[in-house]
């Protein structure tokens, strides 16, 4: 961006020795045709009090102001990445520009969560439900998968949700996608390297990674990736440290987490947690362990914290659990108790925004339609959110704002 203030900001009393110092830039958070730009006021305000703060976008030089942080910039174009700089002004003139924020991309309704497919033990479904994560209420029909499916992995960018593998009756390598801004049925994306079900997936804003699963009766530790914005087949990423089915996955903007599941090498459920750097192919690294060994859980995350909820205690199931655990994604180590779901259940699905985690459906002596939510930054028990359109388990969830994606 050209560091030039818009016209009209140079006072007749302009005195560069009495202008304020530049604010310290914070993070920008994208919204629908908007962005919120955080900053810290300068310690040196110059020769008079600061009267206003301004943010300017790159591209388009769209400007907005506020008396304090944050500044809400409107009139942006959804799907276009922006950075922002902030400056202050007092009666003697404007400060210099702050550093630029990281790039963020506005998107229509940035808090859409979807839950796709699943079954009830005797039937599978192709239904896709959606919710607005920031509110509560029952789910609404979004569209349909191309075929009935369960036991698959889901990942997403801010604009697109992707579903890969699955099917409890056979095995499939099919990948399909939706566009969050437009309700409707899925579209073909490509194929995974292997046919498999009981896999999991996580993603950054650009890349989705699918891990583990059952490849026609053989449990695998394969990791493969796709570029979410570009349709095409999966590419080899590396390997997990253990073979697993029904593991859980979540991510920050840069780091992917794969946890737990059933491992034939152990002959039981495993508590292992692995991590990857999503932008860099290679084998996973050990992260730590879940505090209790569970199987068939639901996982979601903010940019800093990953949550793992519900599941069955050991394998085969010897008791359904309500427990929610959490990890700090940037710091390796074991999980910590977070709180409890409203109902103990296994084979549930999850999605999240930067602030709220949502857990849906599951199996507790039959398919459940309950949706719970938690505030990710605050430990505590889950609260009722609403109901799915159809009670089911062994399905998958993703969202346009998981892991702090913007």
Rounded CA-CA distance 332/374 in Å is 23
- Exposed, middle or buried: residue 371 (CB in 10 Å: 0-12, 13-18, 19+)? buried
Check pLDDT > 60 for residue 157.
yes
Check pLDDT > 60 for residue 103.
yes
Check pLDDT > 60 for residue 11.
no
Check pLDDT > 80 for residue 1.
no
| Residue 169: per-residue pLDDT | 77
At 343, is the pLDDT very low, low, confident or very high (cuts 50, 70, 90)?
A: very high
Check pLDDT > 70 for residue 375.
yes
At 269, is the pLDDT very low, low, confident or very high (cuts 50, 70, 90)?
A: confident
Tokens for 28? 């920008």
| Residue 268: per-residue pLDDT | 78
- Domain ranges in the chain are 1-106, 112-404
Over residues 223-249, the mean pLDDT reads: 96
Check pLDDT > 70 for residue 318.
no
User: Given this chain, do its domains 1-106 and 112-404 carry the same CATH topology?
Assistant: no
pLDDT tens digits for range 295-313: 899 999 999 999 999 998 7
Rounded CA-CA distance 149/174 in Å is 11
| Residue 312: per-residue pLDDT | 87
At 8, is the pLDDT very low, low, confident or very high (cuts 50, 70, 90)?
A: low
At 3, is the pLDDT very low, low, confident or very high (cuts 50, 70, 90)?
A: low
Rounded CA-CA distance 328/257 in Å is 11
Rounded CA-CA distance 349/397 in Å is 5
CATH number of the domain at 112-404, out of 3.90.1200.10, 3.40.50.2020, 2.120.10.80, 1.10.220.10?
2.120.10.80
260 or 235: which leads in pLDDT: 235
| Residue 396: per-residue pLDDT | 97
Helix (H/G/I), strand (E/B), else coil: 168: coil
Over residues 397-402, the mean pLDDT reads: 93
| Widest distance between CA atoms in the chain | 79
Q: Which of these ranges, 89-93, 275-279, 366-370, has the smallest mean pLDDT?
A: 89-93
Residue 81 CB coordination number (10 Å)? 15
Over residues 264-279, the mean pLDDT reads: 88
202 or 107: which leads in pLDDT: 202
Provide the CATH number for the domain formed by 1-106 in this structure: 2.60.40.10
Over residues 177-190, the mean pLDDT reads: 94
DSSP notation for 21-45: PPPEEEEEEE-SSEEEEEEE--S--
Q: What is the average pLDDT score of the chain?
A: 92
190-208 burial by CB neighbour count: b if 16+ within 10 A, else e? Answer: bbbbbbbbbbbbbbbbbbb
pLDDT tens digits for range 68-77: 999 999 999 9
* pTM passes above 0.85: no
């Amino acid at each position: 961006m050209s560091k030039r203030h818009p016209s009209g900001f140079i006072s007749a009393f302009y005195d560069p020795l009495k202008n304020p110092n530049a604010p310290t830039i914070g993070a920008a958070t994208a919204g629908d045709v908007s962005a919120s730009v955080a900053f810290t006021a300068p310690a040196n305000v110059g020769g008079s009090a600061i009267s206003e703060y301004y943010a300017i976008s790159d591209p388009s030089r769209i400007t907005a102001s506020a008396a304090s942080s944050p500044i809400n910039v409107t009139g942006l174009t959804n799907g276009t990445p922006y950075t922002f700089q902030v400056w202050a002004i007092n009666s003697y003139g404007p400060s210099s520009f702050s550093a630029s924020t990281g790039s963020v991309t506005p998107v229509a309704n940035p808090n859409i969560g979807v839950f796709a497919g699943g079954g009830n033990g005797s039937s599978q479904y192709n239904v896709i439900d959606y919710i607005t994560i920031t509110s509560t209420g029952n789910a609404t029909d979004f569209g349909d998968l191309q075929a009935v499916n369960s036991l698959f992995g889901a990942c997403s960018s801010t604009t697109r949700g992707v579903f890969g593998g699955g099917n409890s009756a056979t095995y499939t390598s099919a990948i399909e996608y939706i566009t969050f801004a437009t309700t409707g049925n899925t579209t073909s994306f490509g194929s995974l390297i292997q046919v498999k079900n009981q896999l999991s997936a996580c993603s950054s804003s650009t890349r989705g990674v699918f891990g583990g699963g059952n490849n026609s009766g053989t449990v695998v530790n394969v990791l493969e990736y796709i570029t979410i914005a570009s349709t095409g087949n999966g590419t080899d990423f590396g390997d997990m440290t253990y073979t697993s089915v029904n593991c859980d996955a979540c991510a920050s903007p840069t780091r992917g987490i794969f946890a737990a599941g059933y491992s034939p090498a152990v002959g039981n459920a495993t508590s292992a947690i692995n991590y990857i750097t999503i932008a860099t192919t290679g084998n996973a690294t050990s992260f730590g362990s879940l505090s209790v060994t569970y199987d068939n859980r639901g996982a979601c995350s903010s940019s800093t914290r990953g949550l793992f909820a519900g599941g069955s205690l050991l394998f085969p199931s010897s008791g359904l659990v309500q427990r929610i655990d959490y990890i700090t994604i940037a710091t390796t180590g074991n999980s910590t108790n977070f709180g409890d779901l409203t109902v103990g259940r296994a084979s549930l699905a999850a999605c999240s925004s930067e602030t709220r985690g949502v857990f849906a459906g599951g199996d507790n002596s039959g398919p459940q339609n309950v949706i719970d939510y938690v505030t990710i930054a605050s430990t505590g028990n889950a609260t009722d959110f609403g109901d799915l359109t159809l009670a089911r388990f062994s399905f998958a969830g993703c969202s346009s704002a998981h892991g702090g994606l913007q």
